Amino acid sequence: MTMDDNNLTFDKITSDLTHHIRINKGFMVWMGFLTVSLAVCLYAYSMQLRTGLGVAGIRDYVTWGLYLANFVFFVAASLIGMLISAVLGLIGMKWLTPITRIAETIAVAFAAVAGLIIISDMGRPERLAYVFIYARPQSPILWDVTVITTYFVLSLLLLFLPLIADMAVIHRKVASLPSWLKPVYKSLSLNFTDRPEQNKIINRSIRILLILLIPAALSIHTVTSWLFAVTSRAGWDSTVFGPYFVSGAFVAGSAAVIIAMFFFRKNYKLQDYLTDMHFNNMGKVLATVSLVYLYFNINEFLVPGYKMKRADAVHLQELFAGKDALLFWVVQLGGLVLPILFMLFRRFRKPLPIMLISIAVLIAAWFKRYIIVIPTQEHPFLPIQHVPQNFVHYSPTLIETLITIAPFILVLIIITLISKFFPVIPLHETAREKGIEHIKFD
Amino acid sequence: MDDSNTPHSNNESENQKGSSRRDFLKNLGLAGVGVAAGAAALYSGHIFEAKKEVSGDQKVLLTQDGKLVQVDSLEIKALEKNGKELHETLGREGIPGRRWVMVTDLSKCRNARKCINACQGAHQLRPEQYHMNTLQMQDTPGTAPYNMPKNCQHCDNPPCVAVCPVDATYKRPDGIVLIENDRCIGCRFCMAACPYSARIFNWIEPKDAANHQGEEYNVELNVPQKLGTISKCLFSADRLREGKLPYCVEACPNSVYYFGDENEDAVTNGTTKETVRLSKLLRDNGGYQLMPELGTKPRVYYLPPKNRLFPFEEAKDATPEKV
Amino acid sequence: MRFNKTLIIIFLFSLGTRVAAQTWVVPDDQKAVVAPLKFTPDMQKQGEQLYMKNCQSCHGLPGKDNWAKLTPPPGDLSKEKAQKQTDGEIFYRITTGKVPMPEFRNILPEDDRWSVIAYLRSFNPKYIQPNPVAKAAFTGRIVTLSMQYSEPMKKIVVTASEQLKDGQAGLASGVEIMLYVKRYFGKMQVGDVKTTNAKGQALFEFPADFPGNKDGYVEVSAMVNDPKSIMKTTPANATLAIGVPTDKPSLTATRAMWSTRDKAPVWILLTYTLSVIIVWGFIFYIIYSILKIKRLSNG
């Protein structure tokens, strides 16, 4: 710790972690910008609602396009909540405490929006309820809907439980809190008065959640990978797709957390809590999961590439040396191999460099989903003939791109709101870890 | 796992740990309740299969396809359904006792595309929408090119049906894989799962949608087509019910298609109307299926393109306009 | 050099096919056949529809010279070369066909074949239809068939009887018989054409592996092979228990991954239901505990 823990008081921590909870001009401008952008994208979606999925570039052969690639990306990014909170948390990595809420916020935001993306990819969105009414337990789509809902609720609870104590403090102590928000915090704090029975319930619930979160999180991305792996298409017909997707998800999620950490630290002045040590360690986490992901990438491409079965060969040739080669190699080298090499050095795990590396990794992670979803469909087993050119090669339309951007804006809105109105860093747990006595609740 | 090491825990006393262990046992009990409830739900889900009353009073009825059948009087319900519901029921039940099968003789196809036109006409399809499409194939660079009409293979292990989340596409007892576009949610998982690229989607307003507005939906013909739903070859289920051959089979001028019932071991040529034994036809001509290694068990057989009646020529038809 | 060889081969090949094309001779008596009806605009209209369905894919649209590039070339039927044939010649060619042209004997009834000719003639302004000749009054044999299954011989016995000139009934020998079995889309011929012996009988072996209905019944019919319609015949029909009883289960009888929800594999139903119940049981339990926090407060 760079901070002299002995000088800390609970009041100091409270003010450090909650001073940003106020409605200021910067927040209004940022939210205004996001809202206007979202409105533009929603207008694009209203056009799709009126005239059908044909406004997008997807057609009979490439039938899953940007929307589905985006969906996979969002599910992937949401998985980080489980890695940080459950896996590393249960192992007992104490340095993670200030990052848990960031990770859970990202998990909640991305999981919630992933569900919405699927609706934007439906030809008949008004029939969404049919998924439950006529639910077919053999379809991976039902599994996916089930596990994403479950994971979202688990993550939301895991975000909420540590907040109970924090909100009890906020509505009592934070002067900058707008008066109309006070009753909201008060009721959300559930009359928490730091009694042992209350703490016991919270702690036990958190433990159960942490344990449930691991299978739920593994399921969401494994099942999402099965949307592809249960088909016999070249490039999708793979037995390592589950772990391949899960490890890739950790890469995307870790990168997202690092980026969020960087901006929260800067904007909310959390330098004392999100220290270079945290970035250094998160850099190690990112490097580790990237190495695992690289390992699965090698499996995923080397094994079929060695055999070059007919359908695989067409697909792989396009990826390695054909139409998609530039994208493929930029993503694999620039988004995975080079970042790993950089991250081996401590100086690249400082806040700014690791944030820049994370941005590169995150962008590459999005395009990686594109590479997984689209090229396979351009090479079906039987030739594509007697159809218009735009059926043969997929190119996204403007409307489709706008509808694809909308989820990012939504995620930013959700993250902004959560981080603006709640402490980015768990208040109570930080105090506890530093051995500071709890405040008295009157 | 030690409580004190988790980021969310405080230093609880031994006593508290003990109680948390008791709570864990309580949770286990809860899980047990969950298991029991699950079993109950499962059981109630299947009870319908076992529960069948019999009165002993048998009635003789005439079925849709002109057969006399004996039915227990308790099983007879007046069909008070409207036409659409009736269509849906019949559409799901199929034609009893049949296993439809198609044989496509590649040696006779010269890409006349009559089948395609007939099909697109019957099913209100746009020029770029194919239930049936003739592909120009060349298996390896050294082998001869040939024309291959390709429709839905109506697999007995259909990967498309397996993935449907809402039972919108389903396999009937007579083998036909149908699509009910009143239920389809447009997720297109079936298209991704089909290795034969047999399925199409109504990306934009279907052809002449305005003219067909308000028409009663016929699941066996899949018309009117609906925006945002899947469409595919149906083996002309509506024609089979009338004892007629499918539209494509009937329209072929070159005797390419045979269609029939595997249970009868007979297929009828759509052009010559000659009926032959299915097993003999396949045996004598080296019949095969498309990509049998995928285990999809197609109901469409192909006869190899040997001794072709027509020389192969590159398809000269114009590619449909961009949509 | 190789190019020259190729040329020679192409030349020889085309010569060969030309010779083949010229060998499609129509017998003189068939050439003289004339239509039984006067060609009317209605006939031409119907002929046009039939032409579009059955002929256009090879012969193209009349007058447009857009026939398919086949060997031998199908040619435009509105042109001189086709039109200089007699109606009988065209009728014969349509009826009998010659690879790759299909024979339309069983595809188009006689009237339809004449309609197509009526349509084709509408492109020839010089054409004058010969006076129609209705079919001559019947003078040939009148044959009636009967059929039964002979258990000892394991054969189907078709007996042909005919009405003799003196009005007496007698057994008809030398009549060609075809045996058919009813299938869903039409009749299937069983075995070859057989000629009746002196006892007027033709014996048909019935395949041992032929599927019948679930009790093994097969609907069989016997007909006289009389392509030129020189006889008046009555076919015989019978439902015989000579097929293999066939009662295959429905293709959706078993539980499978692709079945409907009602027939989902049990393990999937179990796994899915249990997982959901267990996890959501815990979730509701946690929500319930959270609500308890409020009650446990100090004041």
Q: What is the DSSP string of B44-83?
A: HHHHHHH-----S-EEEEE-TTS-EEEEEGGG-------H
Average pLDDT over residues C21-49: 84
A-chain residue closest to C293, CA distance: A198
A316, part of any domain = no
Domain count, chain A: 1
Query: Do residues B25 and B165 both lie within one domain?
Result: no
The answer to whether B8 contacts A139, with C-beta atoms less than 8 Å apart, is no
Query: Do residues B36 and B95 both lie within one domain?
Result: no
Q: Which residue has the higher pLDDT, B73 or A355?
A: A355
Kindly tell me if the per-residue pLDDT of B75 is higher than 80: no
CATH at residue B240 = 3.30.70.20
Average pLDDT over residues C210-237: 89
**ipTM for the predicted complex:** 0.92
Contacts of C75 (CB under 8 A, 6+ apart): C59, C67, C81, C82
Task: Compute φ and ψ for B68, nearest 5 degrees.
Answer: -90, 130
User: Which pLDDT band, with edges at 50, 70 and 90, does C26 fall under?
Assistant: confident
Domain count, chain B: 2
Q: Kindly list the distances between the CA atom of residue A184 and the CA atoms of A155, A420, C233, C289, in Å, as whole numbers in the listed order.
A: 21, 15, 97, 20
Query: Do residues B24 and B132 both lie within one domain?
Result: no
Q: What pLDDT does residue A81 have?
A: 82
Contacts of B239 (CB under 8 A, 6+ apart): B245, B246, B247, B250
Query: Do residues B30 and B146 both lie within one domain?
Result: no
The domain covering C22-121 belongs, at the CATH homologous superfamily level, to: Cytochrome c-like domain (1.10.760.10)
Average pLDDT over residues C254-265: 94
A32, part of any domain = yes
Query: Do residues B182 and B285 both lie within one domain?
Result: yes
What angle, 0 to 180 degrees and rounded to 10, lies between the N-to-C axes of helices C266-295 and A140-173?
10
Q: Which residue has the higher pLDDT, B312 or B233?
A: B233
User: Which pLDDT band, with edges at 50, 70 and 90, does B78 fall under?
Assistant: very low
Q: What pLDDT does residue C104 have?
A: 83
C264 to chain A nearest CA, in Å?
7
A422, part of any domain = yes
Query: Structural domain of residue A401, as residue ranges?
Result: 5-232+243-274+397-433
Interface test with B, best of A50, A58, A63 (most B CBs within 10 A): A63
In tens digits, chain A (442 residues) has pLDDT values of 344 455 678 888 888 888 888 888 999 999 999 999 999 999 999 999 999 999 999 999 999 999 999 999 999 999 998 888 888 878 888 899 999 999 999 999 999 999 999 999 999 999 999 999 999 999 999 999 999 999 999 999 999 999 999 998 888 888 878 888 888 999 999 988 888 899 899 999 999 999 999 999 999 999 999 999 999 999 999 999 999 999 999 999 999 999 999 999 999 999 999 999 999 999 999 999 999 999 999 999 999 999 999 999 999 999 999 999 999 999 999 999 999 999 999 999 999 999 999 999 999 999 999 999 999 999 999 999 999 999 999 999 999 999 999 999 999 999 999 999 999 999 888 888 888 766 666 5
Nearest to A164 among C257, C283, C293 (CB): C293
**In CATH, C142-240 is 3.40.50:** no
Query: Structural domain of residue B201, as residue ranges?
Result: 88-303
A198 to chain C nearest CA, in Å?
5
Q: Establish how many alpha carbons lie within 13 A of residue A277's alpha carbon, considering only the half-sphere containing its beta carbon.
A: 12
Kindly tell me if the per-residue pLDDT of B262 is higher than 80: yes
Kindly tell me if the per-residue pLDDT of B46 is higher than 50: no
Interchain contact B217–A (C-beta under 8 A): no
B277, part of any domain = yes
Tokens of B178: 């149908």
Q: Which helix (H) or strand (E) holds C78?
A: none
The answer to whether B196 contacts A206, with C-beta atoms less than 8 Å apart, is no
Q: CB of B255 within 8 A of CB of B272?
A: yes
- Which 244-273 residues of chain C touch chain A by CB within 8 A? 257-261, 264-265, 268-269, 272-273
User: Which pLDDT band, with edges at 50, 70 and 90, does C254 fall under?
Assistant: very high
Interchain contact B112–A (C-beta under 8 A): no
Q: What pLDDT does residue A440 have?
A: 61
B59, part of any domain = no
The answer to whether B8 contacts A52, with C-beta atoms less than 8 Å apart, is no
Tell me the CA end-to-end span of chain C in Å, nearest whole number.
109
A15, part of any domain = yes
Report the phi/psi class of residue C296: left, alpha or beta, with left for phi > 0 and alpha for psi in -120 to 50.
Answer: alpha
Q: How many secondary structure helices (H) and strands (E) does chain C include?
A: 8, 9
Residues of C with Cβ-Cβ distance to B42 under 8 angstroms: 266, 269-270, 273
Q: What pLDDT does residue B299 have?
A: 97
Interchain contact C299–A (C-beta under 8 A): yes
Q: Which residue has the higher pLDDT, B69 or A178?
A: A178
Kindly tell me if the per-residue pLDDT of B26 is higher than 70: no
B-chain residue closest to A209, CA distance: B8
Query: Do residues B138 and B22 both lie within one domain?
Result: no
C293 to chain A nearest CA, in Å?
5
Q: What pLDDT does residue B132 have?
A: 96
Q: What pLDDT does residue A284 have?
A: 96
Nearest to A52 among B203, B290, B315 (CB): B203
Query: Do residues B34 and B128 both lie within one domain?
Result: no
Q: Which helix (H) or strand (E) holds A190?
A: none
Subunits close to B (at least 3 CB pairs below 8 A): A, C
Q: CB of B240 within 8 A of CB of B90?
A: no
A334, part of any domain = no
The answer to whether A191 contacts C297, with C-beta atoms less than 8 Å apart, is yes
| Domain residue limits, chain C | 22-121, 142-240, 261-295
DSSP state of C211: B
Average pLDDT of chain B, as a whole number: 81
* Rounded CA separation B155/B163 (Å): 14
Kindly tell me if the per-residue pLDDT of B62 is higher than 70: no
A17, part of any domain = yes
Q: CB of A222 within 8 A of CB of A242?
A: yes
Q: What pLDDT does residue B57 have?
A: 58
Q: What pLDDT does residue C137 have?
A: 63
Q: What pLDDT does residue C261 have?
A: 93
Q: How many secondary structure helices (H) and strands (E) does chain B include?
A: 8, 13
Residues of C with Cβ-Cβ distance to A209 under 8 angstroms: 286
Contacts of A119 (CB under 8 A, 6+ apart): A125, A128
B125, part of any domain = yes
B200 to chain A nearest CA, in Å?
6
The answer to whether B159 contacts A135, with C-beta atoms less than 8 Å apart, is no
User: Which pLDDT band, with edges at 50, 70 and 90, does C12 fall under?
Assistant: very low
A201, part of any domain = yes
C-chain residue closest to A213, CA distance: C279
Q: What pLDDT does residue B11 have?
A: 42
Kindly tell me if the per-residue pLDDT of B48 is higher than 80: no
B210, part of any domain = yes
